Amino acid sequence: MVMQFVRNVARKSGQSSLLAVEAAKTRLARQIGASSGLFYVPKVVSFDSEVGVLEFERIDGLITLRELAMRKDVRLYPLLKKAGHSLAIVHAQLFLPGEIKHELPPEWMGGSEENVFIHGDFNLCNVCFREDLDQLVILDWSAAPLLGGTPVFGSRYFDILWFVSHAFISAPNRRLFRWDSKGIADALIEGYARAIQPNTVDKLRIYWPRLLQLHRRSVWHIASRQKLCRACVWMVSQSFLYCKLWRYGRRFY
């Protein structure tokens, strides 16, 4: 997928079948955001299936939650709890047509009450803050590239744990020892649990070993796309962060 910003639109080009799924998810998520009043989703301006181009409303001045974490902005943790609440509402209300009900890998499928339509790439960079309107904005409703961009349905705990993984993996090297991965993850989980699933933490233990495996795959996936020197530095920093992630997971047992 290639993203370009042209005047007042954000233009994504790529495989038409994947973009069609993203367009459908984005339109429905936008309705959920508007009806709940919790978050905003950019409008789909147009979708050309023949050439594989999807255009969204462009919103200038967005700040990712990762940027707020880097600034140690006091608004971060309330926004994380709101993001958790928003994700819970998406899981409760997002329903897609059967023909695009592509499932996650089997290890991320749960019981019937647990499987929901997911965001698929819920992370600190796809959840943003619009400062002028004091508004949470959720972007990029396609599944993570590591998953092939296809799955839209599976365990609700995938989205939660994917965010937790990103809270650790996204730490800047220069702030490696002062990055509050635990606080970021805890705030998101608290917001989700309060909204809809009070037993969220208990359920996470079932998926934790799978998350660690997926986290390692993510690290290698990112490293493989960097030059050798940068990849080596990246792997060293991620080894430290993986230890922190492993220790964080011990709370679930």
pLDDT, position 112: 82
Tell me which H or E stretch contains 28: helix 16-36
| 3-class DSSP assignment, residue 8 | coil
Q: What span, in angstroms and rounded, lies between the C-alpha atoms of 195 and 21?
A: 27
What are the pLDDT digits (tens) for 123-139?
999 999 999 999 999 99
Does the structure show a pLDDT above 90 at 159?
A: yes
* 8 Å CB contact between 119 and 90: yes
pLDDT digits (tens, 9 = 90+) for 19-32: 999 999 999 999 99
User: 173: which 2 tokens?
Assistant: 């090297």
* pLDDT score for 32: 98
pLDDT at 69: 97
Q: What is the pTM of this model?
A: 0.95
Percent of the chain past pLDDT 70, that is, above it, reads: 99
Q: What is the pLDDT of residue 203?
A: 83
Q: What's the average model confidence in pLDDT over 59-77?
A: 96
- Structure tokens that stand for 114 in this block: 């647990």
Per-residue DSSP letters for 194-245?
A: HHT-TTHHHHHHHHHHHHHHHHHHHHHHHHTTS-HHHHHHHHHHHHHHHHHH
Q: Which CATH number fits domain 60-252: 3.90.1200.10, 3.40.630.30, 3.30.70.270, 3.90.1150.10?
A: 3.90.1200.10
Query: Is the sign of the CA dihedral 76, 135, 132, 169 positive or negative?
Result: positive
Task: Give the model's pLDDT for residue 111.
Answer: 85
Q: Tell me, what's the pLDDT at 197?
A: 66
Q: Looking at residue 40, what DSSP letter applies?
A: B
Q: How far apart are CA 156 and CA 57, in angstroms?
A: 28
Does 52 have pLDDT greater than 70? yes
Is the predicted pLDDT of residue 64 greater than 90, yes or no?
yes
